[in-house]
Homo-oligomer: A and B are copies of this chain.
Amino acid sequence: MNPLPPYRLDLDRDVVSLTGDLVDIPSESRDERALADAVEQALHAQRHLTVERDGNTIVARTNLGRAERVLIGGHLDTVPSSGNLPHSRSDGFVHGLGSCDMKGGVAVALRLASLLPEPDRDVTYVFYECEEIDAQFNGLERIAATHPEWLAADFAILMEPSSAGVEAGCQGTLRAEVRTTGTRAHSARSWLGSNAIHQAVQILTRLDDYEPRRVVVDGLEYREGLNAVGIQGGVAGNVIPDACIVTVNYRFAPARSTAEAETHVRDVFDGFDVKVVDVAPGALPGLELPAARDFVRSVGADPRPKFGWTDVARFAGLGIPAVNYGPGDPALAHATDERVPEADLVECERTLAAWLGSPQ
Protein backbone atom coordinates (compact mmCIF):
# COMPACT_ATOMS: atom_id res chain seq x y z
CA MET A 1 0.00 0.00 0.00
CA ASN A 2 2.68 2.49 1.01
CA PRO A 3 5.47 2.68 -1.55
CA LEU A 4 7.73 4.73 0.72
CA PRO A 5 10.39 3.15 2.96
CA PRO A 6 9.40 3.52 6.62
CA TYR A 7 10.49 6.76 8.23
CA ARG A 8 12.11 6.76 11.67
CA LEU A 9 11.88 9.55 14.19
CA ASP A 10 14.56 10.17 16.80
CA LEU A 11 12.94 11.83 19.82
CA ASP A 12 16.36 12.59 21.28
CA ARG A 13 16.91 15.22 18.57
CA ASP A 14 16.29 18.82 19.64
CA VAL A 15 12.76 20.12 19.11
CA VAL A 16 13.76 22.36 16.19
CA SER A 17 15.45 19.52 14.28
CA LEU A 18 12.54 17.22 15.09
CA THR A 19 10.10 19.75 13.60
CA GLY A 20 12.05 19.69 10.35
CA ASP A 21 12.05 15.88 10.39
CA LEU A 22 8.26 15.85 10.81
CA VAL A 23 7.72 18.36 7.98
CA ASP A 24 9.71 16.06 5.68
CA ILE A 25 7.29 13.15 6.21
CA PRO A 26 4.40 14.19 3.92
CA SER A 27 1.02 13.73 5.60
CA GLU A 28 -1.73 15.41 3.64
CA SER A 29 -5.17 14.67 5.08
CA ARG A 30 -6.20 11.02 4.44
CA ASP A 31 -2.58 10.14 3.65
CA GLU A 32 -1.10 10.20 7.17
CA ARG A 33 -0.07 6.53 7.41
CA ALA A 34 3.69 6.97 6.96
CA LEU A 35 3.80 9.65 9.64
CA ALA A 36 1.47 7.74 11.97
CA ASP A 37 3.71 4.65 11.60
CA ALA A 38 6.79 6.66 12.51
CA VAL A 39 5.08 8.30 15.49
CA GLU A 40 3.74 4.98 16.74
CA GLN A 41 7.16 3.33 16.51
CA ALA A 42 8.89 6.22 18.31
CA LEU A 43 6.33 6.11 21.15
CA HIS A 44 6.52 2.33 21.50
CA ALA A 45 10.20 2.79 22.28
CA GLN A 46 9.23 4.81 25.40
CA ARG A 47 8.88 2.19 28.11
CA HIS A 48 6.84 4.49 30.40
CA LEU A 49 4.00 4.82 27.87
CA THR A 50 1.16 2.55 26.83
CA VAL A 51 0.37 3.08 23.16
CA GLU A 52 -2.94 2.55 21.34
CA ARG A 53 -3.72 3.02 17.67
CA ASP A 54 -6.95 3.36 15.71
CA GLY A 55 -6.56 4.08 12.01
CA ASN A 56 -3.87 6.72 11.80
CA THR A 57 -4.58 8.11 15.23
CA ILE A 58 -2.12 7.26 18.04
CA VAL A 59 -2.83 7.63 21.77
CA ALA A 60 0.01 7.21 24.29
CA ARG A 61 -0.39 7.48 28.08
CA THR A 62 1.57 7.51 31.31
CA ASN A 63 -0.08 5.47 34.05
CA LEU A 64 1.41 6.80 37.27
CA GLY A 65 -1.80 7.10 39.30
CA ARG A 66 -1.45 10.88 39.55
CA ALA A 67 -4.38 12.93 40.91
CA GLU A 68 -4.81 14.75 37.60
CA ARG A 69 -4.54 13.77 33.95
CA VAL A 70 -3.66 16.22 31.18
CA LEU A 71 -4.31 15.52 27.49
CA ILE A 72 -1.89 17.01 24.97
CA GLY A 73 -3.23 16.80 21.42
CA GLY A 74 -2.07 17.57 17.92
CA HIS A 75 -3.14 16.61 14.44
CA LEU A 76 -0.76 14.84 12.08
CA ASP A 77 -2.28 16.00 8.79
CA THR A 78 -1.54 19.03 6.68
CA VAL A 79 -3.34 20.82 3.85
CA PRO A 80 -2.03 20.00 0.33
CA SER A 81 1.49 21.11 -0.48
CA SER A 82 1.99 24.42 -2.26
CA GLY A 83 5.55 23.58 -3.24
CA ASN A 84 6.86 24.18 0.26
CA LEU A 85 8.54 20.80 0.87
CA PRO A 86 11.05 19.74 2.14
CA HIS A 87 11.66 22.01 5.15
CA SER A 88 14.42 24.60 5.39
CA ARG A 89 15.81 26.67 8.24
CA SER A 90 16.74 30.34 8.08
CA ASP A 91 16.38 33.56 10.05
CA GLY A 92 15.35 31.69 13.18
CA PHE A 93 12.48 29.85 11.52
CA VAL A 94 11.71 26.34 10.36
CA HIS A 95 9.98 26.80 6.98
CA GLY A 96 7.77 24.33 5.15
CA LEU A 97 4.36 22.73 4.81
CA GLY A 98 2.79 22.10 8.20
CA SER A 99 5.69 23.64 10.13
CA CYS A 100 3.24 25.99 11.85
CA ASP A 101 -0.01 24.01 11.50
CA MET A 102 1.02 21.95 13.39
CA LYS A 103 4.08 19.80 13.17
CA GLY A 104 5.91 22.24 15.45
CA GLY A 105 3.31 21.44 18.13
CA VAL A 106 3.57 17.73 17.37
CA ALA A 107 7.36 17.93 17.79
CA VAL A 108 6.95 19.58 21.20
CA ALA A 109 4.49 16.88 22.30
CA LEU A 110 6.75 14.06 21.07
CA ARG A 111 9.69 15.60 22.89
CA LEU A 112 7.67 15.76 26.15
CA ALA A 113 6.61 12.13 25.68
CA SER A 114 10.28 11.20 25.57
CA LEU A 115 11.63 13.68 28.16
CA LEU A 116 9.17 13.08 30.99
CA PRO A 117 9.01 9.46 32.20
CA GLU A 118 7.53 10.58 35.53
CA PRO A 119 5.56 13.82 35.15
CA ASP A 120 3.72 15.32 38.15
CA ARG A 121 0.45 14.86 36.25
CA ASP A 122 -0.44 11.83 34.19
CA VAL A 123 -0.31 12.72 30.52
CA THR A 124 -2.25 11.42 27.49
CA TYR A 125 -0.64 12.29 24.16
CA VAL A 126 -3.04 12.22 21.19
CA PHE A 127 -1.77 12.44 17.59
CA TYR A 128 -4.71 12.36 15.21
CA GLU A 129 -5.63 12.37 11.55
CA CYS A 130 -7.82 14.47 9.27
CA GLU A 131 -8.25 17.71 11.15
CA GLU A 132 -7.99 19.83 8.02
CA ILE A 133 -10.92 18.30 6.14
CA ASP A 134 -14.59 17.45 6.63
CA ALA A 135 -15.39 16.51 10.23
CA GLN A 136 -16.60 13.05 9.22
CA PHE A 137 -12.94 12.00 8.80
CA ASN A 138 -11.59 13.64 11.97
CA GLY A 139 -9.63 11.12 14.07
CA LEU A 140 -10.51 12.84 17.34
CA GLU A 141 -14.21 12.72 16.52
CA ARG A 142 -13.94 9.00 15.70
CA ILE A 143 -12.00 8.11 18.88
CA ALA A 144 -14.53 10.04 20.96
CA ALA A 145 -17.20 7.71 19.56
CA THR A 146 -15.28 4.40 19.49
CA HIS A 147 -12.83 4.67 22.43
CA PRO A 148 -13.97 7.58 24.62
CA GLU A 149 -11.95 6.15 27.56
CA TRP A 150 -8.73 6.92 25.66
CA LEU A 151 -9.58 10.60 25.87
CA ALA A 152 -10.44 10.73 29.59
CA ALA A 153 -8.68 13.78 31.10
CA ASP A 154 -9.16 16.67 33.52
CA PHE A 155 -7.76 19.25 31.14
CA ALA A 156 -6.64 19.33 27.52
CA ILE A 157 -4.01 21.37 25.73
CA LEU A 158 -4.46 21.47 21.95
CA MET A 159 -1.18 22.44 20.38
CA GLU A 160 -2.67 24.55 17.56
CA PRO A 161 -0.46 27.54 16.73
CA SER A 162 -1.03 30.38 19.19
CA SER A 163 2.39 32.05 19.20
CA ALA A 164 3.30 30.20 22.40
CA GLY A 165 0.50 31.95 24.31
CA VAL A 166 -2.69 30.53 25.75
CA GLU A 167 -5.71 31.07 23.49
CA ALA A 168 -8.71 30.06 25.49
CA GLY A 169 -12.02 28.63 24.31
CA CYS A 170 -13.11 29.13 20.74
CA GLN A 171 -15.99 30.82 18.97
CA GLY A 172 -18.80 28.86 17.39
CA THR A 173 -19.55 29.01 13.70
CA LEU A 174 -22.82 28.86 11.79
CA ARG A 175 -23.35 29.01 8.04
CA ALA A 176 -26.75 29.76 6.53
CA GLU A 177 -28.22 30.44 3.12
CA VAL A 178 -30.48 33.47 2.98
CA ARG A 179 -32.50 33.55 -0.20
CA THR A 180 -34.83 35.75 -2.16
CA THR A 181 -37.40 34.62 -4.69
CA GLY A 182 -38.61 36.61 -7.67
CA THR A 183 -40.31 36.00 -10.99
CA ARG A 184 -38.48 35.40 -14.26
CA ALA A 185 -39.13 37.63 -17.24
CA HIS A 186 -37.29 38.74 -20.36
CA SER A 187 -35.00 41.59 -19.37
CA ALA A 188 -36.42 43.71 -22.22
CA ARG A 189 -39.75 43.61 -20.35
CA SER A 190 -38.40 43.64 -16.81
CA TRP A 191 -41.62 45.12 -15.39
CA LEU A 192 -43.30 41.75 -16.02
CA GLY A 193 -40.90 40.07 -13.56
CA SER A 194 -39.57 40.56 -10.07
CA ASN A 195 -35.81 40.75 -9.66
CA ALA A 196 -34.49 38.44 -6.92
CA ILE A 197 -31.03 40.04 -7.02
CA HIS A 198 -32.49 43.50 -6.43
CA GLN A 199 -34.41 42.08 -3.46
CA ALA A 200 -31.10 40.96 -1.94
CA VAL A 201 -30.30 44.62 -1.24
CA GLN A 202 -32.11 44.21 2.10
CA ILE A 203 -29.96 41.23 3.03
CA LEU A 204 -26.74 43.06 2.21
CA THR A 205 -27.94 46.21 3.96
CA ARG A 206 -28.56 44.27 7.16
CA LEU A 207 -25.09 42.69 6.88
CA ASP A 208 -23.48 46.03 6.17
CA ASP A 209 -25.27 47.70 9.10
CA TYR A 210 -24.66 44.78 11.46
CA GLU A 211 -22.87 45.72 14.67
CA PRO A 212 -21.10 42.61 15.91
CA ARG A 213 -21.13 42.02 19.64
CA ARG A 214 -18.04 41.94 21.78
CA VAL A 215 -18.68 39.46 24.57
CA VAL A 216 -16.52 39.10 27.66
CA VAL A 217 -16.29 35.55 29.00
CA ASP A 218 -13.90 34.77 31.89
CA GLY A 219 -12.25 38.12 31.31
CA LEU A 220 -11.61 37.43 27.61
CA GLU A 221 -13.24 39.60 24.96
CA TYR A 222 -14.59 37.64 21.99
CA ARG A 223 -15.38 39.59 18.80
CA GLU A 224 -18.25 38.15 16.90
CA GLY A 225 -18.84 38.56 13.18
CA LEU A 226 -21.66 38.09 10.68
CA ASN A 227 -20.50 38.12 7.08
CA ALA A 228 -21.51 37.18 3.59
CA VAL A 229 -19.06 34.55 2.37
CA GLY A 230 -20.86 33.90 -0.92
CA ILE A 231 -23.55 35.26 -3.22
CA GLN A 232 -25.02 33.66 -6.29
CA GLY A 233 -27.82 34.65 -8.63
CA GLY A 234 -28.71 34.84 -12.32
CA VAL A 235 -30.22 32.75 -15.09
CA ALA A 236 -28.98 34.26 -18.35
CA GLY A 237 -27.85 37.63 -19.66
CA ASN A 238 -31.36 38.52 -20.84
CA VAL A 239 -33.46 37.10 -18.01
CA ILE A 240 -34.70 38.79 -14.83
CA PRO A 241 -33.50 36.29 -12.19
CA ASP A 242 -35.97 34.53 -9.93
CA ALA A 243 -33.53 33.45 -7.21
CA CYS A 244 -30.57 34.84 -5.31
CA ILE A 245 -28.74 33.12 -2.47
CA VAL A 246 -26.49 34.88 0.04
CA THR A 247 -24.37 32.50 2.15
CA VAL A 248 -23.57 34.04 5.53
CA ASN A 249 -21.15 32.91 8.22
CA TYR A 250 -21.84 33.82 11.84
CA ARG A 251 -18.94 33.48 14.27
CA PHE A 252 -20.33 33.65 17.78
CA ALA A 253 -18.88 33.95 21.25
CA PRO A 254 -18.81 30.71 23.25
CA ALA A 255 -21.37 32.07 25.73
CA ARG A 256 -24.01 31.52 23.04
CA SER A 257 -25.43 28.08 22.23
CA THR A 258 -25.93 26.88 18.66
CA ALA A 259 -29.70 27.22 19.14
CA GLU A 260 -29.25 30.83 20.28
CA ALA A 261 -26.94 31.47 17.34
CA GLU A 262 -29.54 30.15 14.91
CA THR A 263 -32.27 32.25 16.52
CA HIS A 264 -30.07 35.31 16.25
CA VAL A 265 -29.37 34.77 12.54
CA ARG A 266 -33.06 34.18 11.86
CA ASP A 267 -33.88 37.40 13.72
CA VAL A 268 -31.36 39.39 11.70
CA PHE A 269 -32.84 38.09 8.43
CA ASP A 270 -36.44 38.19 9.57
CA GLY A 271 -38.73 38.07 6.56
CA PHE A 272 -36.30 36.08 4.42
CA ASP A 273 -36.01 32.38 3.76
CA VAL A 274 -33.10 31.21 5.99
CA LYS A 275 -31.65 27.71 5.80
CA VAL A 276 -28.90 26.71 8.25
CA VAL A 277 -26.25 24.77 6.33
CA ASP A 278 -23.91 23.82 9.19
CA VAL A 279 -23.22 24.84 12.74
CA ALA A 280 -20.57 23.97 15.32
CA PRO A 281 -20.67 25.14 18.93
CA GLY A 282 -17.96 27.23 20.51
CA ALA A 283 -16.06 26.27 23.66
CA LEU A 284 -16.02 28.21 26.90
CA PRO A 285 -12.52 29.15 28.02
CA GLY A 286 -12.91 27.31 31.35
CA LEU A 287 -10.02 29.29 32.83
CA GLU A 288 -11.54 29.19 36.32
CA LEU A 289 -10.76 25.46 36.60
CA PRO A 290 -7.70 24.63 38.77
CA ALA A 291 -5.63 22.83 36.10
CA ALA A 292 -6.23 25.65 33.60
CA ARG A 293 -5.45 28.35 36.15
CA ASP A 294 -2.24 26.63 37.09
CA PHE A 295 -1.21 26.21 33.46
CA VAL A 296 -1.93 29.84 32.61
CA ARG A 297 0.16 30.92 35.58
CA SER A 298 2.96 28.68 34.38
CA VAL A 299 2.89 30.21 30.88
CA GLY A 300 3.14 33.59 32.55
CA ALA A 301 1.30 35.72 29.95
CA ASP A 302 -2.35 36.81 29.87
CA PRO A 303 -4.51 34.35 27.94
CA ARG A 304 -6.17 35.61 24.77
CA PRO A 305 -9.52 34.59 23.27
CA LYS A 306 -9.47 32.17 20.29
CA PHE A 307 -11.52 33.45 17.37
CA GLY A 308 -11.20 30.57 14.92
CA TRP A 309 -12.99 27.30 15.50
CA THR A 310 -10.67 24.51 16.69
CA ASP A 311 -10.98 21.03 18.13
CA VAL A 312 -10.99 22.51 21.64
CA ALA A 313 -14.74 22.66 21.01
CA ARG A 314 -14.75 18.85 20.69
CA PHE A 315 -13.08 18.54 24.10
CA ALA A 316 -15.59 20.99 25.52
CA GLY A 317 -18.31 18.76 24.07
CA LEU A 318 -16.76 15.84 25.97
CA GLY A 319 -16.79 17.86 29.19
CA ILE A 320 -13.02 18.42 29.15
CA PRO A 321 -11.85 22.02 29.56
CA ALA A 322 -9.28 22.78 26.90
CA VAL A 323 -7.07 25.59 25.65
CA ASN A 324 -5.04 26.21 22.52
CA TYR A 325 -1.34 26.54 23.20
CA GLY A 326 1.33 25.94 20.60
CA PRO A 327 4.24 27.37 18.63
CA GLY A 328 3.69 29.51 15.53
CA ASP A 329 1.56 32.39 14.29
CA PRO A 330 -1.95 31.15 13.39
CA ALA A 331 -2.06 33.67 10.53
CA LEU A 332 0.68 31.64 8.78
CA ALA A 333 -1.27 28.38 8.86
CA HIS A 334 -1.96 27.21 5.27
CA ALA A 335 0.22 29.99 3.87
CA THR A 336 2.70 29.28 1.09
CA ASP A 337 5.41 30.81 3.26
CA GLU A 338 4.33 28.80 6.29
CA ARG A 339 6.97 28.83 9.03
CA VAL A 340 7.39 28.49 12.78
CA PRO A 341 9.83 30.44 14.99
CA GLU A 342 12.49 28.26 16.55
CA ALA A 343 12.13 30.34 19.72
CA ASP A 344 8.43 29.34 20.00
CA LEU A 345 9.35 25.68 19.74
CA VAL A 346 11.94 25.93 22.49
CA GLU A 347 9.69 28.02 24.72
CA CYS A 348 6.71 25.69 24.40
CA GLU A 349 8.83 22.68 25.21
CA ARG A 350 10.39 24.40 28.23
CA THR A 351 7.12 25.76 29.61
CA LEU A 352 5.24 22.49 29.29
CA ALA A 353 8.11 20.44 30.68
CA ALA A 354 8.36 22.73 33.68
CA TRP A 355 4.62 22.67 34.30
CA LEU A 356 4.40 18.89 34.01
CA GLY A 357 7.33 18.42 36.34
CA SER A 358 10.55 18.13 34.50
CA PRO A 359 13.12 15.84 36.15
CA GLN A 360 15.79 18.51 35.67
Contact = CB atoms under 8 A, between A and B. Distances in A.
Interface of A: 171, 173, 175, 186-191, 195, 197-198, 200-201, 204-205, 207-208, 212, 223, 225, 227-241, 244, 246-247, 249, 251, 307-309
Contacts of A208: 198, 201
A205 B201 contact: yes
A240 B244 CA distance: 19
What secondary structure prevails in chain A residues at the interface with B? Answer: mixed
B197 A309 contact: no
A241 B229 contact: yes
Contacts of A223: 189, 191
A228 B197 contact: yes
B231 A188 contact: no
Given A229-B237, A229-B239, A241-B228, A307 B188 contact: yes
Given A198-B208, A251-B187, A230 B240 contact: no
B204 A197 contact: yes
Given A198-B228, A201-B207, A232-B232, 15 more contacts: A187-B227, A187-B249, A188-B307, A189-B223, A190-B227, A195-B227, A197-B228, A198-B208, A205-B205, A229-B234, A229-B236, A229-B237, A230-B237, A232-B233, A237-B249
B233 A230 contact: yes
Nearest to A251: B188
Nearest to A234: B230
A229 B225 contact: no
B233 A238 contact: no
Given A171-B188, A204-B204, A309-B188, A227 B251 contact: no
A171 B238 CA distance: 13
B308 A186 contact: yes
Contact of A198 (B173, B227, B236, B238): B227
Nearest to A228: B197
A225 B307 contact: no
A251 B197 contact: no
Nearest to A225: B190
A307 to B, nearest CB: 4
Closest 10 CB pairs of A and B: A230-B234, A197-B228, A201-B204, A190-B225, A188-B308, A188-B307, A231-B233, A187-B249, A198-B208, A201-B208
A197 B236 CA distance: 21
A188 B225 contact: yes
A238 B225 CA distance: 11
16 contacts: A173-B188, A175-B237, A187-B225, A187-B249, A189-B225, A191-B223, A197-B207, A198-B228, A205-B205, A228-B241, A229-B234, A229-B236, A229-B238, A230-B237, A230-B241, A232-B234
Contacts of A238: 173, 229, 249
A44 to B, nearest CB: 37
A133 to B, nearest CB: 13
Contacts of A189: 223, 225, 307-308
Contacts of A205: 201, 205
A227 B189 CA distance: 11
A227 B241 CA distance: 9
